[in-house]
């Protein structure tokens, strides 16, 4: 038979005979193509560009596509290493039987080609069938207009094809290098070789502890400030490195310490368990580290996105407490009259009424806060060092809040939109004022103690003379007042949006305008962004779970083939069948549930940082975040257990084949 016919046939036969190894890989590959194609189709769809409030969604999908590629490349390379390892004995046998390495290379090329065709065709078909449905789900979550005219993108098809061709070519090159650098004897032994333990075990174990400790320390101590994102990435990198070193060396070091304790080690149950664990950890450490990392990524990704989604209402209430907010420079009384007249005119034209309306004047000054002092800014002081004080007269405050507070000279009421001021006195320049009361709430701005980015401090003072005195003392003399109007709208939804649209057009043409907040538009954009984040979070949770499941599956196969031979040896040295099965079951449970345990530890250590990060998106409801963390972790633990049960069936099936 011609080699041109034989080699493709051998490739097909190899795939069929190794179905237990190849079938999950092909399914995972199809799903990867499907995900990448769907992301690309949404990203490059013309409908997205023309939809209102889809800007954030476009950015998120673009970032998601890049991250998906970054995740899939190492994952597919990693799973390919399992495939080639299981095939090495077969390839070595072909070499012994007379096939030259170039012929083996051709056969492997056909294997890669056939698998790519199956994977790509299956993934694209899934994409064509479900991409429209997923697009509609995304639009619904993002609160965007649902349009069914979704067309497939040839650009997305091209990018998907190029990406997966590149990955498959890279896998083929790696496989060919391994084959050409090995002799037939090495290939025959390849399937039995495990993951190499580190040469400097104790140093690596110490590094694992140090990296994990440093990562945990940063995660626990980090607060919401300008460096939080840098600290987050540093903590993540340290924990990933620490996890790798801890699993590849740290656990082995602990087992060796236990082995050194003769009284503990030479107890029959401990002897077999520790010896078996040492053997398994040396072979499986790197894989278990990856399982732990993917488990942590799944939990944290879902925790963040689900928390944001469940907390959307509280975020919107904090960000946009009013439908409309207009801030004008107070040039003279006519400015205020002009604004009030226009609001009344638009209200009549659109048939809506303003409700919950508050209007007040204040003067804003720039300062630098040093504990209980607000001091003058230095020349060219950096923006991140600046705080702001907003000065209101007692008369204005009482009228707005409906209260009857009283103040003496050199007395103030203090309100912080973020962390409490927390002092009984306040130094304003060189003048000392007594804090009669620190307000815990105010109608003009919501408060969040966890909001450490807020640098707004409201000072309610006795009268205009006190305002001018404080401005002079803090280097803000000559500052003009601000007239702020905040209100909600009552009426039909379309009428309220028309009012908002007309007001936007008018205020943008006013030279006295300082700022304008449209709560309707802001809420829609926020919902769009959080809906997109939820979509990404669920998708990436599925991707991480797929990676996790496939790694667990291949580890069970590897353990099964190895234990099939070890099983009979353990019986020959005097252990009963029940004892052997019990020992192996304990070892497998320990090996596969250690990653879950450490994933929970990682999540607990990083919870404070996660809460702070969510604070940058104005989610300060820690009770909600804790509840979501418990729910997500519990559901993930159940699914992890189900994955273990499903994959362990493959393991026990392989082990029983030796009987």
Using one digit for the tens of pLDDT, what is the confidence trace for 288-324? 788 888 888 889 888 988 998 899 888 888 888 898 8
Over residues 624-635, the mean pLDDT reads: 93
Domain residue ranges of the chain, discontinuous segments joined by +:
1-193, 198-320+520-659, 321-519
Q: Are 536 and 58 in contact (CB under 8 A)?
A: no
Which of 152-156, 316-320, 531-535 has the largest mean confidence? 316-320
Residue 266 pLDDT more than 70?
no
CA atoms in the 13 A half-sphere facing the CB of 557: 21
Give pLDDT, residue 1: 47
* Three-state secondary-structure class, residue 10: helix
Task: Express each pLDDT in 471-526 by its tens digit.
Answer: 888 888 878 788 888 998 888 888 888 888 888 888 888 888 888 888 888 888 88
Give pLDDT, residue 578: 62
Q: Which of 436, 459, 477, 460 is nearest to 388 (CA)?
A: 459
CA angle 360, 366, 370 (to 5 degrees): 115
Q: Alpha-carbon distance 425 to 433, whole Å?
A: 6
* pTM listed for this prediction: 0.76
Q: Which of 569, 550, 527, 536 is nearest to 658 (CA)?
A: 569
CA 305 to each of CA 220, 347, 608, 628: distance values in angstroms, whole numbers, following the listed order: 21, 39, 16, 10
Q: Which two tokens stand for residue 221?
A: 């101590």
Which helix (H) or strand (E) segment holds residue 650: the answer is helix 622-656
Q: Are 352 and 540 in contact (CB under 8 A)?
A: no
Q: Max CA-CA distance within the chain?
A: 107
Q: Which two tokens stand for residue 466?
A: 């006190």
CA angle 396, 398, 404 (to 5 degrees): 145
- Phi/psi of residue 181, nearest 5 degrees: -90, 0
């Amino acid at each position: 038979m011609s080699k041109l016919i034989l080699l493709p046939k051998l490739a097909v036969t190899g795939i069929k005979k190794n179905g237990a190894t190849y079938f999950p890989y092909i399914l995972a590959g199809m799903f990867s193509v499907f995900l990448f194609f769907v992301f690309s189709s949404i990203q490059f769809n013309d409908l997205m560009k023309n939809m209102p409030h889809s800007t954030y969604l476009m950015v998120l999908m673009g970032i998601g596509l890049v991250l998906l590629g970054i995740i899939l490349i190492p994952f597919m390379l990693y799973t390919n290493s399992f495939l080639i390892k299981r095939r090495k004995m077969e390839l070595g046998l072909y070499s012994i039987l007379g096939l030259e390495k170039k012929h083996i290379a051709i056969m492997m090329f056909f294997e890669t080609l056939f698998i790519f065709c199956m994977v790509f065709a299956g993934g694209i078909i899934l994409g064509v069938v479900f991409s429209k449905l997923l697009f509609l789900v995304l639009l619904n979550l993002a609160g965007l207009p649902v349009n069914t005219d979704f067309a497939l993108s040839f650009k997305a098809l091209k990018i998907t094809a190029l990406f997966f061709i590149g990955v498959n070519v890279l896998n083929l090159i790696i496989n060919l290098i391994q084959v050409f650098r090995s002799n037939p004897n090495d290939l025959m032994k390849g399937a039995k070789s495990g993951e190499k333990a580190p040469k400097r075990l104790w140093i690596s174990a110490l590094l694992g502890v140090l990296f994990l400790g440093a990562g945990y320390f940063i995660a626990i101590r980090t607060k919401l400030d300008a460096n939080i994102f840098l600290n987050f990435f540093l903590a993540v990198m340290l924990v990933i490195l620490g996890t790798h070193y801890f699993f590849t060396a740290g656990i082995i070091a602990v087992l060796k310490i236990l082995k050194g304790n003769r009284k503990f080690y030479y107890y029959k149950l401990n002897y077999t368990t520790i010896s078996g664990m040492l053997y398994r950890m040396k072979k499986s450490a790197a894989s278990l580290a990856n399982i732990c990392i993917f488990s942590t990524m799944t939990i944290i990704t879902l925790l963040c996105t689900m928390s944001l989604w469940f907390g959307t209402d509280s975020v919107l209430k904090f960000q946009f407490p009013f439908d409309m907010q207009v801030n004008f420079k107070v040039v003279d009384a006519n400015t205020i009259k002009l604004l009030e007249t226009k609001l009344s005119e638009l209200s009549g034209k659109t048939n809506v009424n303003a409700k919950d309306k508050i209007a007040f004047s204040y003067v804003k000054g720039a300062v630098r806060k040093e504990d209980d002092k607000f001091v003058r800014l230095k020349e060219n002081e950096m923006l991140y060092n600046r705080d702001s004080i907003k000065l209101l007269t007692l008369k204005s405050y009482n009228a707005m809040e409906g209260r009857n507070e009283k103040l003496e000279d050199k007395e103030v009421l203090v309100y912080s939109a973020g962390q409490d001021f927390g002092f009984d006195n306040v130094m304003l320049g060189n003048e000392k004022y007594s804090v009669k009361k620190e307000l815990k709430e105010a109608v003009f701005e919501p408060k969040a103690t966890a909001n450490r980015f807020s640098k707004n401090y409201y000072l309610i003072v006795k009268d205009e003379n006190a305002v001018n005195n404080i401005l002079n003392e803090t280097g803000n003399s000559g500052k003009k007042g601000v007239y702020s109007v905040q209100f909600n709208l009552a009426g039909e939804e379309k009428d309220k949006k028309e009012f908002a649209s007309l007001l936007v057009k008018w205020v943008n043409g006013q030279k006295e305008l300082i700022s304008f907040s449209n709560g309707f538009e802001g809420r829609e954009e926020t919902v769009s962004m959080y809906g997109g984040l939820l979509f990404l979070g669920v998708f990436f949770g599925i991707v991480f779970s797929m990676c996790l499941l496939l790694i667990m599956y291949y580890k069970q196969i590897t353990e099964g083939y190895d234990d099939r031979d070890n099983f009979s040896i353990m019986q020959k040295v005097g252990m009963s069948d029940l004892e052997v099965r019990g020992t192996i079951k304990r070892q497998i449970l320990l090996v596969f549930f250690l990653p879950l345990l450490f994933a929970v530890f990682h999540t607990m250590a990083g919870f404070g940082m996660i809460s702070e990060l969510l604070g940058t998106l104005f989610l300060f409801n820690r009770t909600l975040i804790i509840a979501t963390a418990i729910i997500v972790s519990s559901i993930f633990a159940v699914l992890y257990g189900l994955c273990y049960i499903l994959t362990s069936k493959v393991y026990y099936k392989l082990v029983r084949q030796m009987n």
